Amino acid sequence: MKTDDQRLQLALDFVNGPDVKDANLGELRENLAKFLGHSLLADGENIRDPDVVKRKVDEAWPDNIGGTGFEVDAHIDVTGISMSKGYEARDALASFIGFGPKQEEVPFDVLRKLQNRTRQLIHRHLGSSDTVLYANELAEQFGDRTGSAITVVGRDGDIRAHITAEPAVAFQWIVLLLINGQPDLRACAHSKCEKPFVKARTTKLYCSDGCGAAARTARQYADPKKRAAKIKYIREKRASERR
């Protein structure tokens, strides 16, 4: 079984990555399906094959997301398939991750909206750690959509809340639960980056060595004396190289 940290990293790769039109669509499709707990099958594979069953067990995510008492399932409505029109817009994410005809057009607008909303969710959490309002907004998105619900499951001491939602909403619910269970999530301290990342140590401020170096350089050039000294050093070094 895989870990919540590995699942959260898939979400961070999605929000920190390029716009979906510039992304590797094959990799994006695979990662979104994996994140939602629906690993894609290779050509010729059958979901009932023992090897496939074992792989799905090995790739399964923890039931209680982020150490909470919540479970989330993505509801895939296959009744809306039409060979002429494909999925309706609300089901376009389900189509993209492999539950519709393979020739279905990539739903760039749906994916971009999901990417932006997930970024907002994470940055709102980093800004105030209060994501209750966002949870209410997600609950309101259920509306009257078929298969969307929050139910209580289990018995005795094993009571859990089970959320079933359409793929895009389920994605955000899972991210919400993951970030609330990850105390080491922070935004990169480089002002021109600010991408969310999980810090490996308490003193880590930047998402990468490149951002750390860029931030240090920016601080040096922001100080007039340090900037002048840096320029003088570079000029003297170039002059000595010409001799």
Q: What is the 3-state secondary structure (H, E, C) of 139-170?
A: HHCCCCCCCCEEEEEEECCEEEEEEEECHHHH
Please say if the pLDDT value at position 60 is more than 70: yes
* pLDDT given at position 92: 67
* pLDDT given at position 14: 94
The Cα–Cα gap between 187 and 98 comes to 32
Higher per-residue pLDDT: 103 or 189: 189
The Cα–Cα gap between 78 and 59 comes to 24
Cα–Cα distances in angstroms (integers) from residue 66 to residues 5, 62, 147, 226, in the given order: 9, 8, 23, 45
pLDDT band at 146 (very low <50, low <70, confident <90, very high): low
Residue 8's identity, in one-letter code, is L
- Can you tell me the mean pLDDT for 179-183? 85
Please list the residues that pair with 46 across neighbouring strands: none
- Is residue 57 classed exposed, middle or buried when 0-12, 13-18 and 19+ CB atoms within 10 A define those classes? exposed
Higher per-residue pLDDT: 221 or 198: 198
pLDDT band at 89 (very low <50, low <70, confident <90, very high): very low
Mean pLDDT of the chain: 78
Query: For the whole model, what pTM was predicted?
Result: 0.77
Strands 149-155 and 70-74: unpaired
The Cα–Cα gap between 113 and 211 comes to 27
pLDDT band at 82 (very low <50, low <70, confident <90, very high): very low
The Cα–Cα gap between 105 and 94 comes to 12
Please say if the pLDDT value at position 15 is more than 90: yes
DSSP alpha helix (H) spans, 181-223: 209-222
* pLDDT given at position 233: 76
